[in-house]
Amino acid sequence: MMAPILPQGLQRAGARSPITYSKVLLVEGQTPFQFFKALLKNLGLDNQIEIRNFGGVRDVAAFLKALVGTDGFDQVLSLGLVRDAEENALSAFDSVTDCLKRASLNSPSTPAARSQGTPVISIFILPDNTQSGMLETLYLQAVSNDSAMKCIDEFFDCLSGKGVQLPDNLDKARIQTYLASREKSGLLLGQAAHAGYLFWGHPAFDSLKQFLLSL
């Protein structure tokens, strides 16, 4: 039997596209949506886990409330939610668990743990459930051995030495510079994941892959 077509992701918290998989992964924005599509394909899970885009962190509570009322939610056995830590991984985790409670859903006790009840719910806070940062932080770890990174480090050191004001989000800036160094430049991070500009075997991805495999 042919698997249903993987939905392209929801852009609005109130969207009501029916759920067709028993495992659902919720991610923060279109770039992570594309990144996780590529990673799930690498793991051979792209026809087992449905990805949905909840938008931004302020949209999580409304999205979850809408999701519970979406056709097919009663068939969901496992629900995973991934968001960036930003400044503090613990605060990000607490924010997600609060949103789950407001949607009358169970919460796991710690990141990457599994909740009681159905659906089983688990949370992953990027980059690694403990550090501050985001998807770009994890991406940088995975390309840390690429020869281009030495040049990129020297580039930002040069800017700083010349008194140039560096970007507020240096991880994002460093990733954009790294992607500009590829044969096919100008790609967004999610597009780069599909283009093969990531080393999926890097240990930086181990805990995230285990999270997805355990959904």
**pLDDT at residue 1, rounded to an integer:** 44
**Start-to-end C-alpha separation, the chain:** 22
Give mean pLDDT, residues 31-39: 92
The yes-or-no verdict on residue 183 having pLDDT over 50 is yes
Query: Residue 173 and residue 167: Cα distance in Å, rounded?
Result: 7
Q: Once rounded to an integer, what is the mean pLDDT over residues 97-115? A: 95
Pairing of strands 23-27, 49-53: parallel
The pLDDT value recorded for residue 160 is 94
Element (H, E) at 52: strand 49-53
Residue 57's pLDDT is 86
Q: Looking at 36-40, 133-137, 182-186, which range is the least confident one?
A: 182-186
Cα–Cα–Cα angle for 56, 69, 105, nearest 5°? 70
Q: Is the pLDDT of residue 131 over 90?
A: yes
Residue 125 pLDDT greater than 80, yes or no: yes
Residue 120: which of 93, 92, 66, 80 has the closest Cα? Answer: 80
- Residues in Cβ contact with 82 at an 8 Å cutoff, skipping those fewer than 6 apart: 25, 26, 27, 28, 32, 36, 123, 124, 125, 126, 211
Contact between 9 and 51 under an 8 Å Cβ cutoff? The reply is yes
Per the CB < 8 A criterion, the answer to whether 171 and 207 are in contact is no
CA–CA gap between residue 153 and residue 102 (Å, rounded): 44
How would residue 196 be classed by pLDDT, with cut points 50, 70 and 90? confident
Q: How is residue 132 written in tokens?
A: 């501050």
Give 11's pLDDT tier (boundaries 50, 70, 90): low
pLDDT in tens, 37-47: 999 999 999 99
CA atoms of 17 and 122, how far apart (whole Å): 22
> Is the pLDDT at 36 greater than 50, yes or no?
yes
State the chain's mean pLDDT as an integer. Answer: 90
pLDDT, tens digit (0-9, with 9 covering 90-100), for 143-176: 998 999 999 999 999 999 999 999 999 999 999 9
What is the spatial distance between Cα 147 and Cα 157, in angstroms, rounded to a whole number?
A: 17
Instruction: Using the predicted structure, report yes or no on whether residue 14 has a pLDDT greater than 70.
Output: no
Tell me what pLDDT residue 59 has: 87
- 178: which strand partners? none
Query: What does the pLDDT read at residue 13?
Result: 54
Q: Which domains does the chain have, with CATH numbers?
A: 23-133+202-213 (3.40.50), 135-194 (no CATH)
